[in-house]
Amino acid sequence: MRRLFAVATLVVLTLLTGATAPGAAPANADLAQSADLAQSADLAQSGVVSANPVDFTPHVLDGTVWALALVGDTVVVGGSFTKVSDSAQRHTYARTNIFAYGLRDGAIRPFAPVIDGAIYTLTAGPSDSVFVGGAFKTVDGTTQRGITRLALSTSGRVDSFGAWINWGDVRALEVSGGYLYAGGTFSAIGGTPRVALARMSPVTGVVDTGFDARLSAPGLTRTRVEHFDISPDGSRLVAVGALLRSGTSVRTQIAVFDISGRAAALTGWYTNAYQPACMKGFDTYLRQVKFSPDGKYFVVAATGRLASSVKLCDSAARFEMAGAARHNPTWVQRTGGDSLYAVAVTGSVVYVGGHERYLDNPYGSDVTGPGRGAVSRLGIGAISPITGRALPWNPTRDRGVGVRAFLVTPGGLTVGSDTAQLGHEYHGRVGMFPVA
């Protein structure tokens, strides 16, 4: 029986600052009339969501969902796929790597741009638009590599936004403080050299030439920002990935920047927790990072294919933000050898997703550690933000490669992955657990 579902609409009314980057166009009416739609940190929720997914979300029929974003009352879904269907599977629609549906009813929107490569990241833009990042080269037949801005009403490119990357891909995007931030494997945006991390005008895409994190990874094939998050107050950015230095300072796989000013100022925050190597072949084993809604801590999700009770391979770990010195994790949640790819932090809960079989399993290696209290959590689980121990919530999912994206909304937790079973029900690569 289809359950009734009501979602409170979150209205963000903080106006963009209007600050301009060197060489960037000043804020225009497009920005002045819209909110600073930052998706830095997740929304706070008072408890664990239901383990029973809603019935009305549509289905992605092939491929993988890599990214989710909320624009008004529309959920935008990105990844590598070609077909979607309505919740009842009565109608199938051609959608190339991106589509959109109604948050409250699951109705598939007309929004249908054609993007010729995988989409890895999405973030809400001004005036009912969405910023898109990935490994594509063209958008609706027009060359615009790796990054674009689309209007939901027309499915078309916003022509005024002219950013493009020189090669590689874009893996993370966020809007904050009147800027658009991008991370990935690129070494230039719009012809301006920027290695793996940049910020730009969300109107024109012109790079802020005064902002340079100076990331490098000596000895690795390439420098890569796998993911980043921005603190709720917009003052700090934490980046994870294949990085070893910022300028001359050592920062192994994780770096924290003060972004409240004109430059990307590396802070004194650092950790040596990710210096030990996991299985050979990983230039980085960190996959996602998310701030808590109060900005006091963040949680990192990691892969690594190496069960260890000492190293942080295949783990989730909480780090406190306070202080400008070496930090050790407050707690570490270990799966016993299975990857975690996605994390969401709602204040009351930390959600993790990947292809894990267990949580609370520090002494296991692809099995439960003997007598150590490991619990079964197939592909998705919830952790106490205080203790780092698994919570009882256990909806399960087909493990596949794993969960790639979480989206926290006032009404629940949306999950994007590569499989079609979620909470013991059929949900093709997208599903939502409502607030309990």
pLDDT in tens, 35-71: 344 456 899 999 999 999 999 999 999 999 999 999 9
Give CA–CA dist 126/37, Å, rounded.
7
Specify the pLDDT at position 268: 98
Specify the pLDDT at position 9: 35
Give CA–CA dist 386/280, Å, rounded.
32
CB 335 within 8 A of CB 379: no
Specify the pLDDT at position 307: 86
Q: Structure tokens of 416? A: 């994007």
In this predicted structure, the answer to whether residue 11 has a pLDDT above a threshold of 60 is: no
Our CA dihedral for 38, 39, 44, 48, rounded to 10 degrees, sits at 170
Banded model confidence at residue 372, pLDDT cuts 50, 70, 90: low
Contacts for 299 with CB less than 8 Å, ≥ 6 apart: 289, 290, 292, 316, 317, 318, 319, 343, 345, 350, 385
Give CA–CA dist 361/334, Å, rounded.
5
**pLDDT tens across 123-155, in order?**
999 999 999 999 999 999 999 999 999 999 999
| Surface-to-core class of residue 51, CB atoms within 10 Å of its CB (0-12 exposed, 13-18 middle, 19+ buried) | middle
For range 406-412, the mean pLDDT: 97
Could you tell me the domains of the chain? 35-434 (2.130.10.10)
Report DSSP letters for 313-377, one per residue.
TTEEEEEE--SSSB---SEEEE-SS--EEEEEE-BS-EEEEES-SEES-TT-SSSPPTTS--EE-
| Surface-to-core class of residue 110, CB atoms within 10 Å of its CB (0-12 exposed, 13-18 middle, 19+ buried) | exposed
Q: What percent of the chain has pLDDT over 90?
A: 86
End-to-end CA distance of the chain: 17
